[in-house]
A and B are shown apart, each in its own frame.
Chain A
Amino acid sequence: MDIKQLYKTTILEHNRNPRNYATPKEYTHKAEGLNAICGDQVFIYINVEDDVIKQMNFDGESCAISTASSSIMTEFLTGKTVLQAQALFADFCQLMDRKLNISSMPSLAEVNNMAGVKNFPARIKSATLCWHAMNAALVGKETATTE
């Protein structure tokens, strides 16, 4: 995929209007995602009730790919159970693994749009950072890195 196509079809729209970009007052889980090499920093806030993700928000300072990925992820995981979210995290890691050559996974629906980032290896961590932070929050860790 051409770089412009990737940005135009998916990244820029979410970057301009990121869904769930907010700092909520109430949440049950929170973690920070930190990409030390490039300086991306994302906070994920999750409100879980009866094992179901009722609300997921993010804030922080990061590039368009990271912002779009957070926007798509928070939208996608709202309403899923904690176990489902963790299983989807594992799927997303596989999708974004360059060695596996997977272009889409049925379980990931619209999240599959992020697979285009795989063509820009230096930026894969920008796309995966928020997912690592989300998983860290659910397992009770304060920080996650993509290293």
Chain B
Amino acid sequence: MNRKDFPCLDVKVHNKPLVYFDNAATAQRPQSVIDAINHYYNKTNANVHRGVHTLSGDATDLFEAARESMATLLNSPSEKNLIFTRGCTESVNLVAQTFARSRISKGDELIVSEMEHHSNIVPWQLLCEQTGAILKVLPFNDNGELQIELLNDLITDKTKMMAVVHASNSLGTINPVKQIVKIAHARNVPVLVDGAQAMPHIKVDVQDLDCDFYTVSGHKMYGPTGIGMLYGKMEHLQAMPPYHGGGEMISHVTFEKTVYNAVPAKFEAGTPNIAGAIGLGAAADYILRHSIEHIHKADTELLNYATEKLLKVDGLRIIGTAKHKVSVISFTLKDVHPHDLGTILDHYGIAIRTGHHCTMPAIKHFNVPATARASFAFYNTKAEIDYFIESLDKAREMFL
């Protein structure tokens, strides 16, 4: 676990050393991920699951090894529970359009939380438009903690599905998803957990959570963009209709009838993002090698250090003050609009995110049009946080 493993952290921005605090948007990738992608294209480039030739076999081995690494990381009962997708967004859409769509009809209800990313709202809204189902919202309190005491009353006999984020990308909140799953299951409601922001920071054990689906974004967990995973319970995956039709997902095709391939191939139509999958496997290996517990400890230390320092900055308000957080801090600074702050900090080499972070309802809750967000990864340093605080002061002075 070393900062030197991440080559992009060495670049300069406006002639200043890069301070990369936009990890919640996308993390940096370690050299081992970059090397794994290069190795595939340089040495084993061939299609998977198709050829009898050596190279195709090698590519297939690497591709399937990546699935196994992800199964280990997630403590999945089998690698067969894991489907390669383009990312969390596609994973949610897949579940909405196959699993949920096949069991939802007019007047049925779906539950999401108030702090969801747009990617865990809009696919459900589309489903509601298609079926006449109703979307209900589990609210959070002013600290940014879900009011799970309201969940049992929110669930009715018509509730067919719940989707909730494990860790909020804008507020940082780590939700008690195990407890949520338990409450929902007691009422026979299956639960999808959006793990985009949790995977790079905390231990995820899909069997312990007992969730029905868990979605993974590759690039948030130090892997490549355009690749992610969907974990699903086997009985669901077997019962669900396919998502996309095409090659790979079939075992037999005639014009009269097509027999689908077994899970997970049933959900992987077309030539997949092979290099991306291999890169994701390398990212999983990186986390496994260095242990998520170590990573979480380092992240939390940075979170606590930064929170303490930020609270001392005049006119600064932290948006999202849950007791359990990943290393994401949204904030506003009096008299300085987040976009101006983002531009000024960029001038000092500091990359932060500004805006609504694709969680417009969550940001609206706090009555602000936008926030600035600093998000840390284990490779960030306290010295970087000190420099960030100094730069915040300079920005604030400019606006006085």
Give A contacts to B, CB under 8 Å.
2-4, 7-8, 11-12, 15, 37-41, 61-65, 120, 122-123, 126
Contacts and interface: CB of A to CB of B under 8 A. Distances in A.
A64 B369 contact: no
B112 interface: no
A37 B343 contact: no
Interface of B: 336-340, 342-344, 346-347, 354-356, 363, 369-370, 398-399
Given A40-B339, A64-B337, 19 more contacts: A3-B343, A3-B346, A4-B347, A11-B340, A12-B399, A15-B399, A37-B355, A38-B339, A39-B369, A61-B369, A62-B369, A63-B338, A64-B340, A64-B399, A65-B339, A65-B340, A122-B342, A123-B339, A123-B343
29 contacts: A2-B347, A3-B344, A3-B347, A4-B347, A7-B340, A7-B398, A8-B398, A11-B340, A15-B399, A38-B339, A38-B370, A39-B355, A39-B363, A40-B369, A41-B369, A61-B369, A62-B337, A63-B337, A63-B338, A63-B339, A64-B340, A64-B399, A65-B339, A65-B340, A65-B343, A120-B343, A122-B342, A123-B339, A126-B339
Q: Rank and list the top 10 A-B pairs by shortest CB-CB distance, nearest first.
A: A63-B337, A63-B339, A3-B347, A39-B370, A64-B340, A61-B369, A39-B369, A38-B355, A63-B340, A39-B356
Nearest to A7: B398
Contact of B354 (A7, A15, A38): A38
B95 to A, nearest CB: 26
Identify the interface centre among A39, A61, A64, A122: most chain B CB within 10 Å of its CB.
A39
Nearest to B360: A39
A34 to B, nearest CB: 11
A87 B344 CA distance: 33
Chain A interface main SS type = helix
A12 B339 contact: no
Contacts of B347: 2-4
Contacts of A120: 343
Contacts of B369: 39-41, 61-62
Nearest to B345: A3
A58 to B, nearest CB: 15
A111 to B, nearest CB: 20
Given A38-B370, A41-B369, A122 B343 contact: yes
A2 to B, nearest CB: 8
Contacts of B339: 38, 40, 63, 65, 123, 126
A76 B337 CA distance: 24
Contacts of B346: 3
A65 B347 CA distance: 16
Nearest to B14: A3
A63 B342 CA distance: 11
A8 to B, nearest CB: 8
A8 B398 CA distance: 8
A95 to B, nearest CB: 19
Contacts of A41: 369
Residue among B336, B337, B338 with the highest chain A CB neighbour number at 10 A: B337
A93 to B, nearest CB: 21
